[in-house]
Structure 1
Amino acid sequence: MRGLVIGLAGIGLSMTYSILNFANFAHGDYITAGGFAGWATTYAVAGAFGARADIGSLLLVGAGGSVFGGALGIGIVSSPLAVIGGLLVAGVFTIALALFVDRYAFKPLRDRSGIALLITSIGVAFAIRFLIQFVFGPSRRGLTATQPAITVPFIDGTVQLRAHDITLAVVAIALMLGVHLLLQRTKLGKAMRAMADNEDLARVTGIPTEQVVRYTWIIGGGLTGVAGYMFFLWKGTMGYFDGWLLLLLIFAAVILGGIGSIYGAILGGLIIGVTASVSVVWIPSDFSRAAAFLVMIVILLVKPQGLFAGRTTA
């Protein structure tokens, strides 16, 4: 499940790098911002049906312990409309945020070096993160009520799958398949691949590069916002720092898969996520991220360019 989130969020980061050629350090805070926007909507919808709290507390996602997702009965089974509405808002809000930041922060610097864009993205990340902290508060809060689970046979035993596990898997796999079809079957996808290979040649052949950049932010932002919302739904808790912590694993996944490769980001995300989760069987959970990075280093020693070396965008 963690690998699906990392892979889904890594698609947006990999697309940004392959098209614009810079590492966007604000990507993690896009995840958080989309998650908070989506969960504010989920709380508002769930509270409107239940009428159990004032609208201010609901829109602040229960800041200060004013209202709890468990008390509202939030979950994909118990309140599907609230969850679906929050999921859609998370994607739309992150798209708007990505386009706004690109218009006023990244676009004026696009003709300069990648270092200028990288440093700017770090500044944008801090601004978004502490704006979220200022509005929603620094406290971590629980989001969901207990959801039913099903027992699935697995090797010589069984596995418990929660409703939110299944929801995450369905949403992530469907979106990944959608990205694959977009890249391989549409004119926009071909234009994106052409621009990733050679921007100057793409411009000479008449491809509207600025429009491709805009769609890159739209697609990447939407996927990132959905990934953030689903990550918090799956975990059941949320904090203003979560996206930044997840960003380190996303970068590891993108580098492992091969920088600029969408499929590499997906595969790298699965490897990093599984490693971080399974490693706690042998080592303390505080070192799970270290285990994920160790696996990345070992694989890169064997294949320095990443698993999908030489394949940009797709």
Structure 2
Amino acid sequence: MTRRCGFAAVIGAPNAGKSTLTNRLVGAKVSIVTQKVQTTRFPVRGVALADEAQIVLVDTPGIFQPRRRLDRAMVRSAWGGAEDADAVVHLVDAPAQLGDSPADRRAQADVETIIAGLKASGKAAILALNKVDAVKREALLGVSAALYETGAYDEAFMISASTGSGVDDLKAKLAERMPEGEWLYPEDQTADLPARLLAAEITREKLYLRVHEELPYSAAVETTAFQERKDGGVRIEQTIYVERESQRPIILGKGGQTLKWIGQKSREDLSVILDRPVHLFLHVTVDERWADKRAFYGDLGLDYDA
């Protein structure tokens, strides 16, 4: 059989489930998953295999109405990932399309923005309605028909990224759309992400999992040291940046217990992913202007001037 290889971008509104879908397609953890909206800040490439096809998945930041520099850079990054891809999957949160809460209305507006962008680009996308297990069939068919009639799509799938329902069919369709060519990555590689960035992302995931209600969207994690040890392990030092002094005790917790939990859970994940002992040291620093530093954007591959 002829080998195929190409790029598939997963786009959508914040919290549609893009990272969960990427991880499901790859079969391994390559993108962080939290209940915090807009977690992914830069495209993470996961590598999925389907028979003779290698699908390089670009899990993009959520597309929404940007309000500040970091927002603009993330949205530009998401559209850039879609423009360069051989296939585009627009993941839509099905329950949010039927809801009437402020969050649902924001999600609906973001979906309309994405549809307009897709139509302007002239590139037909694959519609993937997500979280279908939480919606009655009749309502689901209505949502699917309404979206498909916009003319932005040429295929539609009903899936649940969390359970895996329908994902294999979507994966097979993506494999069909990959152009003929040799694979870009070895068969056993699941992600294209520098270890320093991956380590920072894992810690940021644990941070938001633990303090997502108390900490607003105003924290970053930077890996400041990544040193191989003679015993085969790795020593990782990271700085957690927050914008205000009042946020530091939230991350530290009583007696430092919250920070200890974040470090422990991050270390456990990293030891599995890196397949070696990990010695992790975390520091919390207050810097109200971390989101305006040009170097921060360059490290993540984002456009500071977006």
State the TM-score, normalizing by the size of structure 2: 0.23
More strand by share: 2
More helix by share: 1
State the TM-score, normalizing by the size of structure 1: 0.23
